Amino acid sequence: MKNEDIRWKQRFSNFSKVMGHLENALQIPEPDMVQKAGIIQFFEMSFELAWNLVKDYLEEQGFVDIRSPRAALKKAFEVNLLENGHDWMDLLQDRNLTAHTYDEQKSTEMKKLIQEKYFPILKNLQINFTRKVDEE
């Protein structure tokens, strides 16, 4: 199997692209409601790709029966693939609430949380996996 064909590397490539979009969206100084919705959507996509990236990587390492985001994150924390396990669980919980972000106040609060707490966590994952790709 060629290096490029490894599933977690493909997932990492997609994760990195979406993270770039999220990073760009977070640079908007005073986002309007539609832009906030876009930020939240990029966050949701980033998280989905992040937990699947972790799952794919763990499966390649021989771990099986990882079927949910919570299971993937817990196992990744156990094997020191992730730091700040509680923050990742907060991220998962808040990600599950983003589907219910209907009003401007909630979207403003979520945008701030993404920018200040969750983007740095996701960015750290991206940096760690960049190293893994470079090591191979």
SS (H, E, C) the chain: CCHHHCHHHHHHHHHHHHHHHHHHHCCCCCCCHHHHHHHHHHHHHHHHHHHHHHHHHHHHCCCCCCCCHHHHHHHHHHCCCCCCHHHHHHHHHHHHHHHHCCCHHHHHHHHHHHHHHHHHHHHHHHHHHHHHHHHC
For 20-38, the pLDDT digits (tens) are 999 999 999 999 989 999 9
pLDDT for the residue numbered 122: 97
Mean of the per-residue pLDDT values for the chain?
Answer: 91
Q: For the chain, what are the domain ranges?
A: 3-135
Binned at pLDDT 50, 70 and 90, residue 105 comes out as: confident
The domain 3-135 is classified under which CATH number: 3.60.10.10, 3.40.50.150, 3.30.230.70, 1.20.120.330?
1.20.120.330
* Range 77-97 average pLDDT: 91
pLDDT for residue 4 is more than 80:
no
- pLDDT, one tens digit per residue, over 30-75 is 999 899 999 999 999 999 999 999 999 999 999 998 999 999 999 9
| Confidence at residue 103, expressed as pLDDT on a 0 to 100 scale | 74
